[in-house]
Amino acid sequence: GAVVSQHPSWVICKSGTSVKIECRSLDFQATTMFWYRQFPKQSLMLMATSNEGSKATYEQGVEKDKFLINHASLTLSTLTVTSAHPEDSSFYICSARGTSGRYEQFFGPGTRLTVL
Amino acid sequence: GNSVTQMEGPVTLSEEAFLTINCTYTATGYPSLFWYVQYPGEGLQLLLKATKADDKGSNKGFEATYRKETTSFHLEKGSVQVSDSAVYFCALSVDNTDKLIFGTGTRLQVFP
């Protein structure tokens, strides 16, 4: 199946700094990418949907100025957590969908962010 | 609103045992239902899906039937293997959108 990678797999940063997480589709072109957040023992919550070349659509309650999403190419989307705080510590997961298979989202392995 | 509830884990079974992981949903509109599996260190993978009532999704020996009358989509497998040890997520999407709503996941541990 299609492969999606995330980098880094884990990151620790100081409060107030910004962190960038990359999501890449390795063997297909992803017209749409999704970013999720998962707290311990809770479900994945969709944060935003991005289409290549256009602005991301954020879910209600997600601060677009804090979680900057860029989908500049068909194989790369980035999530930047700006001015991170301890409450932003979480597991961030991306998924990507190509042009075929409407419901088929391919998921990355996730990035564990810890803000000290 | 739309939500998914699945049984808490972990579910611990011996190899060749029968597996059921319960999943119920609440949805407006006409949901499609999914089971995803996440093996250690890997991303979620679509295991099976059903897009309308009474449909049965199946893959790798796993099955789930879309039950509208009970708003359920329980995952079953007749004989589990150690390699089935993973976290299983039930999910839905509504009205032909890409937005997936997930349950909390159920960890399955199978021992030889």
User: B55-99: per-residue pLDDT in tens?
Assistant: 999 999 999 999 999 999 999 999 999 999 999 999 999 876 778
CA distance B48 to A33: 21
- CB contact under 8 Å between A44 and B93, yes or no, is no
Judge contact between A114 and A12, C-beta under 8 A. Answer: yes
Confidence of residue A30 (pLDDT cuts 50, 70, 90): confident
Confidence (pLDDT) at A102: 57
CA distance B42 to B60: 18
Q: What is the largest CA-CA distance in chain B?
A: 43
The minimal CB distance from A46 to the residues B4, B43, B99 is found for B99
CA distance A14 to A95: 27
- Per residue in B17-48, pLDDT (tens digit) is 999 999 999 998 889 999 999 998 888 899 99
Judge contact between B91 and B37, C-beta under 8 A. Answer: no
Confidence (pLDDT) at A103: 58
- CB contact under 8 Å between A109 and B34, yes or no, is no
- CB contact under 8 Å between A49 and B41, yes or no, is no
- Angstroms from B85 CA to nearest CA on chain A: 17
Residue A38: strand pairing partners: A44, A91
Name the closest residue on chain A to residue B4, using Cα atoms: A43
- Per residue in A102-113, pLDDT (tens digit) is 557 889 999 999
A97: closest CA among A62, A51, A61? A51
Side-by-side strand order, sheet with B19-21: B19-21, B75-77, B62-65, B56-59
- Per residue in A63-77, pLDDT (tens digit) is 999 999 998 888 999
Q: Which residues on chain A place their C-beta less than 8 Å from a C-beta of chain B?
A: 1, 4, 32, 34, 41-46, 49, 93, 95, 97, 102-110
Q: Record the tokens describing residue B68, joined without a space.
A: 């509208």
The mean of the pLDDT values for chain B is 93
CA distance B71 to B23: 9
Give the pLDDT mean for A39-55: 86
Name the closest residue on chain B to residue A110, using Cα atoms: B43
Name the closest residue on chain B to residue A98, using Cα atoms: B98
Confidence (pLDDT) at A51: 87
